[in-house]
Structure 1
Amino acid sequence: MTTLSARAVLLDMDGTLVDSDAVVERLIGEWARRHGLDVDRVVRLSHGRQGHEVMAELLPDRPMEQNHIENRELLARETVETDGIVAIPGAAALLTALADVPHALVTSATLALARARMRAAGLGVPAVAVTADDVTESKPSPEGFLRAARLLGVPGSECVVFEDSRAGVAAGRAAGATVVGVGAASADYGADHVVNDLTDVTVGDDSLSIHLLDR
């Protein structure tokens, strides 16, 4: 058992609180095939990042405006196509335990998409949420985490971040936070600690300590 002390908790959404893989892989896969791209590579690059940035990386010769147009089209579909979205084990209990602790959602999704996915998973959106609508750069930039920390009145170095993706872990570390990787794969991304899922996380009675079954 590992015990962390923190003044605030910052939570990623997809892959951390919500399992949206089925939807993401289906829609991103359709987009990738339409452009003659390798589906697995596109899905891997998309994890934790804003779609228009990934499109620009994969299709560098086309106008950025086209990336924004196609990303908006994808987001519109993702917001309504929520079949198969479920909560990560332990997510609901953790959010309940954090009710009296400063915490925020930090996601590369838009606010509309975050609300749709959290609702589909049976989870409430935290009162403080930093989304793609609030930042100029997506993860691995630390902008989202640093903004959330400021909104909570806490330095990034006194936050614990829960993340599952390579880009998200890098963003959390760049923000100066202690990063807990969710899922075995996050062990390869440089997370400070790793849990299998959120059932391995409990919040202490003093509301300032987080206990992990660190893997």
Structure 2
Amino acid sequence: MTNTTKHLPAEQRRAATVNAVLELAARHNPGKITTAAIARQMNLTQGALFRHFPNKEAIWQAVMAWVAEQLLKRVDKAARRAPGPLAALEAMFQAHIAFVVAHPGIPRMLFHELQHPHDSPTKTMVRNLVQRYRQRVIELLEAGKNAGQLAPEVEADSAAVLFVGMIQGLVVQSLLAGGPEQMEAAAPGVFALFKRGIAASGPAGNQFQTGESP
């Protein structure tokens, strides 16, 4: 961060703090990120940082609020531009992968929060994000069934679990590999398998499987 960070308005300072935390989380264990490290990343004193956040938990909540807002905004935008529900699912999947690749610190922070044995405000925010995300997937799956693009026996709740699990699995493998390149390379093939498993066998399903719009 440059010296201009010192002179940002309050709202921009909060956004800069979120960015600093995500940059640190991409390189370090989130559990070991201190407010002193965040302040150094921003070229600030801890006192200046605490004028905007009362404690570290408040910083973590700000980060999770930003992640939830930005992720849902991006996947919703991608889904709205798609020509049909199954194309929307694929667009949503691709947008999510792109978001994680652009911000590799996010999955590290999410997994760090979820592994805590006790609830916290930040962990509750993560849980709520996952629930809201799954609901969007379920709605698209139901729309796909109504449009005849999905096999009628597809159970939307289970398919949504699989959808989210595919992304989580790709993220975990990218963390093990040390970078997002593997996730980007594997994502198209993974989603293609998912498509073949849920698509209807009629004309609408065949169009989807061959990549044509309905």
Report the structure, 1 or 2, having the larger helix content.
2
TM-score (structure 2 length as normaliser):
0.30
TM-score, scaled to structure 1: 0.30
Higher relative contact order (CA 8 A, sep 6+): 1
Structure with the largest fraction of strand: 1
Bigger CA radius of gyration:
2
